[in-house]
């Protein structure tokens, strides 16, 4: 059971690793276009800025490839090159029917499974050369497309739509709970699959016109590296020379929204570091949600300030979460030093 779970995790990480550059490219271009466009009554006004509109369209095109690429490379991780075509087809269908990133995850896993099953069928030797080029892509795409269109796609779409409606009408208490959960997930594995589920959820909500979940994620994303980097500056004597050097890199990565900057610290001391950064990211996410922070680009950290609603609350959320991480981890290290 544990081995099967580990394999699924690896398949999902394979898809995520290929999809992230599309998110980054699309998100940065969209952020640049929105940041420099003149604001109208209903938001950015591109009617007088054709070049910015072009940048916006290019960014949106890159971002629209997220779900097909995610599904295609999940299937690739499971079944190698024969999984690419049915994976991309399943992801494109998920996009088409509005099933979002969750539909892409399901389509990718389904495509990989179908291809793996087809590969197990015994066939005459002279048919083998055409199997990965012709037979597998066609048969697997038909199966994946049929299942997505007729069985899985629409329920997943309805689930995403229901989630969006729930977010639109939820009260303050529920918003706090949502923000706390998103913040904890973002920090838990620092760029791993749990982090990406929360991140892609926030990104999916942008498409639905709800920018608050991404605002909470954007504040939480940078807290682990910023908080740990700040800790090495506030109490240098509690950290080794190597950790202090890692702290500078961590601060730089935090400024551009790279949660992975916290990994060197967590790898050395996971039992203290991971709960601490989860706590700090939860604080940041909750403050961002209560402060009405909305992030219009699928990215996080101070780098997205130009496209964030309620920027003061965003900065305050990041500062509070980072300071909480720095003070708590240093207190824990001091306590441990006294006991030893």
Alpha helix (H) residue ranges in the chain: 2-36, 50-64, 66-79, 84-97, 100-119, 136-147, 153-169, 172-188, 193-207, 212-221, 223-234, 241-255, 263-268, 270-290, 311-339
- What pTM was computed for the model? 0.68
Give how far the C-alpha of residue 110 lies from the chain's centroid of Cα atoms, to the nearest Å: 21
pLDDT of the residue at 128? 83
Q: What is the pLDDT of residue 158?
A: 84
- pLDDT on residue 109: 93
The domain spans of the chain are 2-169, 172-339
Q: Are 272 and 328 spatial neighbours (Cβ–Cβ below 8 Å)?
A: no
> Going residue by residue through the chain (340 aa), what tens digit of pLDDT does each one get?
656 666 777 887 778 778 877 877 777 787 778 777 776 655 567 888 889 889 989 988 887 888 899 899 999 999 999 999 999 999 999 989 888 777 888 999 999 999 999 999 888 888 888 898 889 999 999 999 999 999 998 898 888 777 666 655 655 568 888 899 999 999 988 876 678 778 888 887 887 778 899 999 999 999 999 999 999 999 988 888 888 888 898 898 888 888 888 888 887 788 899 999 999 999 999 999 999 999 987 778 898 888 899 999 999 999 999 999 999 999 998 887 666 5
pLDDT, residue 36, reads 79
pLDDT for 230-285, tens place per residue? 999 999 888 888 888 888 988 988 888 888 888 888 877 888 999 999 999 999 99
What confidence score (pLDDT) does residue 160 get?
72
Q: What is the rounded CA–CA span in Å between residue 241 and residue 232?
A: 10
- Confidence (pLDDT) at 207: 72
* Of 273, 167, 289, nearest in space to 229 by CA: 273
Tokens of 199: 């991140």
Task: Tell me the per-residue pLDDT of 56-82, one tens digit each, with 9 for 90 and over.
Answer: 899 888 878 888 998 999 999 999 999
pLDDT at 335: 83
Cβ-based burial of 235 (10 A; exposed 0-12, middle 13-18, buried ≥19): middle
Residue appearing with tokens 């203290």: 272
Structure tokens at 84: 């690419």
> Distance between CA atoms of 69 and 306, rounded to whole angstroms?
28
Provide the pLDDT for residue 43. Answer: 57
């Amino acid at each position: 059971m544990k081995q099967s779970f580990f394999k699924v995790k690896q398949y999902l990480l394979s898809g995520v690793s290929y999809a992230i550059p599309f998110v980054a490219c699309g998100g940065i271009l969209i952020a640049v276009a929105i940041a420099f466009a003149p604001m109208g009554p209903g938001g950015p006004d591109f009617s007088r800025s054709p070049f910015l509109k072009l940048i916006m369209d290019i960014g949106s095109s890159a971002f629209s490839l997220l779900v097909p690429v995610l599904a295609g490379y999940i299937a690739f991780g499971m079944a190698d090159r024969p999984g690419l075509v049915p994976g991309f087809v399943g992801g494109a269908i998920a996009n088409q029917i509005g099933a979002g990133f969750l539909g892409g995850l399901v389509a990718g896993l389904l495509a990989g499974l179908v291809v793996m099953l087809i590969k197990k069928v015994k066939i005459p030797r002279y048919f083998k050369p055409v199997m990965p080029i012709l037979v597998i892509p066609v048969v697997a795409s038909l199966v994946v497309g049929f299942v997505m269109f007729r069985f899985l796609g629409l329920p997943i779409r309805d689930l995403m739509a229901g989630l969006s409606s729930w977010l639109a009408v939820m009260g303050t208490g529920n918003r706090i709970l949502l923000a706390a959960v998103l913040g904890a997930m973002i920090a838990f594995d620092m760029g791993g699959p749990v982090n990406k589920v929360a991140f892609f959820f926030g990104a999916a909500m942008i498409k639905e016109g709800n920018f608050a979940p991404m605002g909470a994620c954007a504040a939480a994303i940078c807290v682990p590296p910023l908080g740990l980097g700040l800790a090495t500056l506030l109490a240098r004597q509690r950290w080794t020379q190597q950790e202090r050097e890692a702290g500078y890199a961590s601060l730089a990565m935090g400024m551009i929204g790279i949660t992975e900057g916290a990994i060197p610290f967590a790898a050395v001391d996971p039992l203290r570091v991971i709960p601490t950064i989860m706590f700090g990211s939860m604080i940041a996410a909750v403050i961002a949600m209560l402060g009405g922070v909305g992030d219009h680009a699928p990215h996080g950290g101070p780098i997205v300030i130009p496209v964030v609603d309620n920027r003061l609350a965003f900065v305050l959320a990041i500062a509070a979460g980072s300071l909480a991480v720095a003070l708590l981890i240093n207190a824990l290290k001091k306590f441990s030093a006294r006991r030893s």
